[in-house]
Amino acid sequence: MTTQTPKVELTLPVIQDMELAATKTAEVVAKQMGLDEMKTAEISMALIEACINAFEHSKSDSNVYIHYIIDGDTLIIKVGDSGVGFDQEVVEIPNIDEKLKADRKRGWGIKLMKELMDTVEFESTDGGTTVTMTKTKQ
Amino acid sequence: MSDFDLKVREQDGVIVLNTNGYLNNFGGEQIASLCLQKISEGQRKFLVNLEKTEMVNSIGVSILIEVIEELQGVNGKMAYCNLAPIVEKTFNIMGISKYAKLYTNEEEGLLDLNT
């Protein structure tokens, strides 16, 4: 017997490559929902970026919390950290032509998440950031 | 310890790198370090075979931009082959495919790099 909106919760310590544990869980949840291979891979890739941001940008040694919520045909993923937060208004949209000339080549995570998922929203305060991403089966 | 390794060989004047595992920051640094060394030795053509890399992250891929930048300064070429669909999509979103050709397989890449 399942609840109407089944939820899986995962807690990740900030350890190298631990984002792959999040993708394994996503694969199981996506399979349960009947999502196709490409959508599942897109979710995994977006999740990797969300986890890396949480690990690196949170400036915190605490855990990262992930909720996978099955809402009908839509998978909702929330990735939360307890870091210092960020202002998404000041995050530049990266461009390869500019990155080739720039000293800093990184900064692609948010762009990738937005391109790979149906919706991506950030809630950020001094006490942490939660990114909520959705992907619908269609 | 990251689960990534790299095999390198030279074929028909092209340095071919076969990756194995998750291309993260360590993987990107391994590829970049090797390519930059080969560039300093005079090599100008590189083909990275990603057949055994099912997943990447943006930090690993962004390190590869350094190699493209370096090759631009010496009229070199960098290409990739055997990309998983999600890796190809990631390369397209990041614009890597604007500066490095993506080939279906190694043979196609080697042939084109030598024309």
Q: Kindly report the CATH number assigned to the domain that includes residue A79.
A: 3.30.565.10
Task: Locate all alpha helices (DSSP H) within B1-115, ordered by sequence.
Answer: 25-40, 58-72, 85-94, 96-99, 106-113
Q: What is the pLDDT of residues A18-68, one digit of tens each?
A: 999 999 999 999 999 999 999 999 999 999 999 999 998 766 578 999 999
Question: Is A17 in contact with B3 (Cβ distance < 8 A)?
Answer: yes
Within a domain: A124: yes
Tell me the ipTM for this assembly.
0.93
Within a domain: A1: no
In the predicted model, what is the mean pLDDT of residues A1-13? 85
pLDDT score recorded for residue B2: 67
Within a domain: A81: yes
pLDDT score recorded for residue B57: 97
Q: What is the pLDDT of residues B32-86, one digit of tens each?
A: 999 999 999 999 999 999 999 999 999 999 999 999 999 999 999 999 999 999 9
Number of domains in chain A: 1
Q: How many CB pairs under 8 A join A and B?
A: 72
Q: How confident is the model at residue A138 (pLDDT cuts 50, 70, 90)?
A: confident
Smallest Cβ–Cβ distance between A45 and the set B65, B66, B90 belongs to B90
| Three-state secondary structure string covering chain A | CCCCCCEEEEEECCCCCCHHHHHHHHHHHHHHHCCCHHHHHHHHHHHHHHHHHHHHHCCCCCCEEEEEEEECCEEEEEEEECCCCCCHHHCCCCCHHHHHHCCCCCCCHHHHHHHHCCEEEEEEECCEEEEEEEEECC
pTM over 0.90: yes
Within a domain: A126: yes
What domain range includes position A100? 7-136
Within a domain: A55: yes
Smallest Cβ–Cβ distance between B63 and the set A49, A105, A112 belongs to A105
pLDDT score recorded for residue A60: 59
Q: How confident is the model at residue A83 (pLDDT cuts 50, 70, 90)?
A: confident
Q: Is the pLDDT of residue A86 over 90?
A: no
Cβ contact A30:A134 at 8 Å: no
Quote the radius of gyration of chain B (alpha carbons, Å). 13
B contact test, residue of A35, A36, A45, A115 with most B CBs within 10 A: A45
Question: At residue A119, what is the residue type?
Answer: T
In the predicted model, what is the mean pLDDT of residues A65-94? 91
Q: Which sign, positive or negative, has the C-alpha torsion B67, B69, B70, B71?
A: positive
pLDDT score recorded for residue A4: 80
Q: Torsion angle, CA of A37/A42/A45/A51, rounded to 10 degrees? A: -110
- Mean of the per-residue pLDDT values for chain B? 96
Q: For chain A, which residues lie within 8 Å of any Cβ of chain B, measuring from their own Cβ? A: 16-17, 19-20, 23, 38, 41-42, 44-45, 48-49, 52, 94-97, 99-101, 105-109, 111-112, 115-116
d(CA B20, CA B30): 12
- Beta-bridge mates of residue B94: none
Question: At residue A85, what is the residue type?
Answer: G
Q: Is the pLDDT of residue A84 over 90?
A: no
Q: Which residues of chain B does A101 touch, with a Cβ-Cβ cutoff of 8 Å? A: 69
d(CA B80, CA B45): 11
Which of A4-13, A77-86, A111-120 shows the highest mean pLDDT?
A111-120
Within a domain: A2: no
B contact test, residue of A92, A100, A114 with most B CBs within 10 A: A100
d(CA A67, CA B103): 37
* Rounded percentage of chain B residues whose pLDDT exceeds 90: 96
pLDDT score recorded for residue A81: 93
